[in-house]
Amino acid sequence: MQKITEKVKLRLRKTSDESSTLHLDYSINGKRNREPLNLKVYDKPRTILERQHNKEVFTKAGLIRNDREKQFFSDEIDEALDRKKRSNSDFYEYVSSYLTSYTKKDKRTMIGVFNAFAEFAPPPLSGKEVDESLCLKFRDYLSQNFSGETPASYFSRFKKLIKQALRDKYLKINPVEDIQNFKAEETIKKDVLTIDDLRALKAAQCGNEAIKTAFLFCCNTGLRFVDIKILKWENIKNNEIVIEQSKTNTKVEIPLNDNALNILSECKKGTEYIFDLPSHNAVVKSLQTWAKRAAIDKHLTFHCARHTFGTNLAFYGNDIASISELLGHTSLKHTMKYVRIGKELKQKGVKSLPNF
């Protein structure tokens, strides 16, 4: 029987007095390739642990060699090496290139996801480092550093990005396939403030009067932080806010209730912008301090104010179409979350009454 010659050979290269590294040796179209495996073995293992280490490393190297051998005979080795080369390249270079040509409506959100991931795991980062463990930690990072629907929305976009990396053959396996996303409605529920919470906040000292008044104003109007920061006196017409929302480019008209009108009456006139707000980071810190002073165990953000407005509208019996229009939603699907939570809070309130 003719002896089968291995086309892919496993080689050792001495790197120190006590150890060697492993690499694969093969030729493609007459060109010799030496593929490093980044695996080290002890030349003369002395302990049980060192012998066990060598055994596991040689087993792993053997499996990689077998894969390359199969790819060699099925003419897939070029593609496999190209994928390995790309997975070793910088993950952020791949994402930047992808987002540059991205044209869908959620591009701004995708860029937000990219920036959040860069803060969580600063570059450089190779594709092979983007594994399930890292992705799971990123999901938890989103929960701890963002509020409202943002963690669920961002992680959904992140999974979308990973799937594209698979289609582009930048990644070989899907590291987020078995990771469940957040339930956005549960997040909203935690972030909603009750009327008692709002009274406690109003009575407590914030440390920055502009932040305090702007936040309470948002609880009565549903404005996002990006919109309240650039809200001008010219946007107030006939006791209504008339603006084009920055996020959706949707024009909304929001009638002002007595709470909102009282807040405006206390604001300084003669300026272009109604609220003189600092940076987002400064706002976040002030809100956390304010919540502690008011003895409110909730994560205060301006998105929490928007959730409070939407949920309280539903709680006090406003119809879904009106709520959707006031929030500037482009779909009733988003508004239904507030309606469901409003009903749940009513049921919880009724069930809390004591027996007699």
pLDDT digits (tens, 9 = 90+) for 147-165: 767 888 899 999 999 999 8
List, for residues 206-226, the tens digit of each pLDDT value: 989 999 999 999 999 999 898
Across 250-276, average pLDDT: 90
Question: What tokens appear for 124 in the block?
Answer: 């450089």
pLDDT band at 194 (very low <50, low <70, confident <90, very high): confident
**Is the predicted pLDDT of residue 338 greater than 60, yes or no?**
yes
Check residue 312 and give its pLDDT. Answer: 84
Q: Give me the CATH topology for the region 190-351.
A: hpI Integrase; Chain A (1.10.443)
Check residue 1 and give its pLDDT. Answer: 46
Check residue 214 and give its pLDDT. Answer: 95
**Is the predicted pLDDT of residue 328 greater than 60, yes or no?**
yes
The rounded mean pLDDT for the chain is 83
Backbone angles phi, psi at 283, to 5 degrees: -65, -45
Question: What tokens appear for 328 in the block?
Answer: 């500037």
Check residue 356 and give its pLDDT. Answer: 62
Of 325, 217, 201, the closest CA to residue 267 belongs to 217
**Cα(335)–Cα(327) distance, integer angstroms:** 8
**Is the predicted pLDDT of residue 84 greater than 60, yes or no?**
no
Across 43-56, average pLDDT: 92
Q: Where are the beta strands (DSSP E) in the chain?
A: 9-14, 19-28, 31-42, 236-237, 240-244, 251-255
**Which range is least confidently modeled, 178-182, 246-250, 285-289?**
246-250
Across 246-252, average pLDDT: 80
Measured between alpha carbons, how far is residue 235 from residues 215, 230, 251 in Å? 18, 10, 11
**Is the predicted pLDDT of residue 36 greater than 80, yes or no?**
yes
Beta-bridge partner residues of 35? 24
pLDDT band at 324 (very low <50, low <70, confident <90, very high): confident
List, for residues 102-154, the tens digit of each pLDDT value: 888 888 889 999 999 999 998 888 888 889 999 999 998 888 888 767 888 89
**Is the predicted pLDDT of residue 333 greater than 70, yes or no?**
yes
